[in-house]
Structure 1
Amino acid sequence: MKSRKLRTLEVSSIGYGSMGLSQGYGSVPERKESIELLHNTYDLGCTFFDTAEAYAMGANEELLGEALAGFRNEVSIASKFWIQDSIENYSAEKLMGVIRNKIEGSLKRLKTDHIELYYQHRVNKDIPVEDIAWCMGELIREGKILGWGQSQATEEEIRKAHAVTPITAIQSEYSIMARQFEKNVIPTCGELGIGFVAFSPLANGFLSGQVNADTSFTGIDARRVITRFQKDNILANQPLLDLLLGFATTKEATPAQISLAWMLHKNDFIVPIPGSRNLKRIRENIESSDIVLTEDEFKQIETALATIQVHGDRKDEDLAKLRTLKD
């Protein structure tokens, strides 16, 4: 596996998003099966594993902590804290106390004394990003984290926070179907030497080409509320899949691999973190790091993409609707 740098943090060029092992896509695997899958992912060359305190109320961190314990020093762990509400009688010191409780909980669940990369899961508009950045600097000085970042942040939020404590990486949604951060955020990361970690790089599996208009989802499965999986949108997005399939045939690859190879070609500071519960798919994703697009092939894809309209998206407010759905 090739490696890349998120600022100074060196990680495998393809990471692994572990959320789906605990929530988000219907029924989850047995714990033993998940641990074996994580071991196999490491054996395939992945050294960058992503989790969050919010995933299954900490259970996903506990799973990773158990699974990675045998080779903890060989991998980098990214986790996230989430402060959803305003803090009563707000002060930077009180904020530090809230965050300290969160990091201590994550460290305990992950069975480690430090986390390589610690993100603010979503920027809280009631809390100045400069204060969050100050708290992250304190945790870095204490050795509890090695670096920090934001998720789904704006250019302004990145610049303000980075000026206080340099940001290691921004983690946001990014794929061939979701390119909203190409205009401002990704160029800002390049300018400031910040890494960019792409979650949902395969558009929640849509870009694998395995979904069709007859595919149905049940239970607590995010694809029930992500609009790109609505039947009309699946049909309307066929030209995009046809484009990927054409290049996949030429390169003896899969549509998913072409999608990831395209992303890796864009910038050398971008690291995708696809998640899967299928070892064959994980192997496929990791092997995409060996697929190199020529500059001409990349330009052909970009030119074609400019003519294709993407239908549907993934929004946090849509995901919130999942809690209200009945089977």
Structure 2
Amino acid sequence: MSNRLPTRTVGPLTVSAIGLGCMNLSHAYMPAPGPAQAERLLRHALDMGVTFFDTAALYGFGANEELLARAIMDRRGDFVLASKCVLGEIDGKRGLDGSPRAIARMLEDSLRRLRTDHIDLYYLHRLDRSLPIEESVGALVRAVEAGKIGAIGLSEMSAATIERAHAVHPIAAVQTEYSPWSRNAEIAVLDCCTEHGIGFVAFSPLARGLFAGAVNSPNFAPGDIRASMPRFREPNFSYNLALFGQLQTIAREAGCTPAQLCLAWLLSRRPFIVPIPGTTNTAHLEENLATLSLDLPDAVFAMIDYVFTSRAAAGARYSRAAQAQIDTEIWLDEELDT
């Protein structure tokens, strides 16, 4: 029996107000949990009332989708399933291909791995600048018409690109990193979502683990993507760790954890924002979901805005190579690859 959590709408979909980002169960942050631990976490999330699970073809080159299939697909009617295409495995390496042919192939592979014939929300994971966005969206429109996907999403794309995509077919959701230290969505994307009734899915809402207290050193295990991110390299890391110290102080005075404070702040920004924190730990999962029972005063959120201005963090979000695939707007004086 699942608990009931407050819900929000993402385009035509109704989901728990906090979802689960599944990436770090198979990909990117090391060490990854073992299969049994990951499957328990997914089932526990479903039992706790989470009804929004986010995966992608890229994560573990399909292993994350296979994990969801083993763990929770027997309860397919209890949740909204989101996955992504364009980024994935190409000739044994990470690659980007937004062509209609590649999208169709990736979708079939994802459906097979997920052991389903329908994905509720399917994103273009990144913008393939080698062809018009209209062509990539057109491939997803055909998938909607074939009943293979229910709604179309975009990840890490600018307001201008969203407008072009939305002119082809209604966009249900935009997914972008959003947290107190990554506020690029506030430049234009959130207003674009408001105008068109598009849901906003906030990934990495806890600063890739830093604001959950999970990162105390810039020394990461081999294969951890944070080692290549400027914000997690010195001297930036020490500066950003001090920012986390200020967040801890605000949270302590508010009577909650830093992670809960970040999630509550995000939920207060717009009524259509749904954070999708990831975790490998059931206690942290429960802590995150307990945010939905908090009632924090606006003065607490004002303190977040005071400390975390739009460019408070030291260092860029991504390395220069990774930033080349990101279409989201940047601030005029934002540091790149430092």
Matched, 1:261 2:261: no
1:117 alignment partner AA: L
Q: CA deviation at 1:74?
A: 0.5
Please give the alpha-carbon distance, in whole angstroms, between the structure 2 residues aligned to 1:10 and 1:85.
30
Give the distance between the partners of 2:97 and 2:210, measured in 1 at CA: 36
User: Which of residues 281, 296, 312 in structure 1 aligns to 2:299?
Assistant: 296
Contact 2:230 2:319 in 1 (8 A): no
State whether residues 114 and 143 of structure 1, in contact with CA within 8 Å, keep that contact through their aligned partners in structure 2.
yes
Change beyond 3 A, Cα 1:295–1:128? same
Name the structure 2 match of 1:155.
159
The equivalent residue for 2:60 is 56
Q: Structure 2 CA distance, aligned partners of 1:284 and 1:270?
A: 19
In 2: Cα distance, 1:42 partner to 1:85 partner: 32
Pick closer, same or farther for the CA change 1:231–1:120 going to 2, 3 Å. Answer: same
Give the Cα separation in 2 of the matches to 1:268 and 1:4: 7
Residue 26 of structure 1 and its aligned partner are, at CA, apart by 1.8
1:277 aligns with 2:280: yes
Q: Offset of 1:86 from its aligned partner?
A: 6.4
Q: Secondary structure at the match of 1:66?
A: helix
8 Å CA contact 2:86–2:97 kept in 1: the answer is: no
SS in 1 for 2:184: coil
Q: Provide Cα deviations, 1:262-282, integer angstroms capped at 9, x if missing partner.
A: 001000111111111111111
SS at match of 1:271: strand
The one-letter code matched in structure 2 to 1:28 is: A
Paired residues for 1:158-237 under 5 Å: 158-212=162-216, 214=217, 216-237=219-240
Preserved contact between residue 178 and residue 313 of structure 1 (Cα < 8 Å): no
Alignment deviations for residues 188-240 of structure 1 (CA, whole Å, 9 cap, x no partner): 1111110111111111101113433x463121112211222224223212453
**2-structure distance, mates of 1:240, 1:37:** 30
Pick from 142, 145, 148 the counterpart of residue 144 of structure 1. Answer: 148
Displacement of 1:158 in angstroms is 0.3
Distance 1:85 1:309, change over 3 A: closer
Structure 1 counterpart of 2:116, from 102, 112, 115: 112
Question: 8 Å contact 1:114–1:144 — kept in the other structure?
Answer: yes
**Identity within the alignment, %:** 39
What secondary structure, in the 3-state scheme, does the structure 2 residue paired with 1:206 have? helix
Task: Give the secondary-structure state (helix, strand or coil) at the position aligned to 1:244.
Answer: helix
Which of 99, 105, 114 in structure 2 is aligned with 1:101?
105
The worse-fitting range, judged by mean Cα deviation, of 26-35 and 179-188 is: 26-35
Secondary structure of 1:205 counterpart: helix
Alignment-mate amino acid for residue 260 of structure 1: L
SS at 2:120's partner residue? strand
User: Residues of 1 paired with 2:189 and 2:218: CA distance?
Assistant: 34
Gaps of 5+ in 2: 88-94, 324-338
Which residue matches 2:139?
A: 135
Q: Does structure 2 retain, via aligned residues, the 8 Å contact 1:51–1:80?
A: yes
- Using the alignment, how far apart are the partners of 1:10 and 1:317 within structure 2? 36
User: Aligned Cα RMSD in Å?
Assistant: 2.0
1:39 and 2:43 aligned: yes
Shift of 1:147: 0.4
For normalisation by structure 1, the TM-score amounts to 0.89
Taking a change above 3 Å as real, the CA distance of residues 71 and 242 of structure 1, as seen in their structure-2 partners, is: same
Cα separation, 1, equivalents of 2:318 and 2:290: 29
| Structure 2 equivalent of residue 78 of structure 1 | 82
Name the SS of the counterpart of 2:306 in structure 1: helix
Aligned to 2:332: none
Partner of 1:241: 244
Paired residues of 2:97 and 2:103 also in contact (CA < 8 A): no
Q: Distance in 2 between matches of 1:224 and 1:66?
A: 30
8 Å CA contact 2:153, 2:171 repeated in 1: yes
SS state at 1:153 partner = coil
Q: Is the 8 A contact 1:226 1:318 kept in 2?
A: no
Unmatched tracts of structure 1, length 5 or more = 88-94, 321-327
306-315 or 155-164, which moves further after superposition?
A: 306-315
- Kindly tell me the number of residue pairs found equivalent between the two proteins: 312
Q: Equivalent residue for 1:22? A: 26
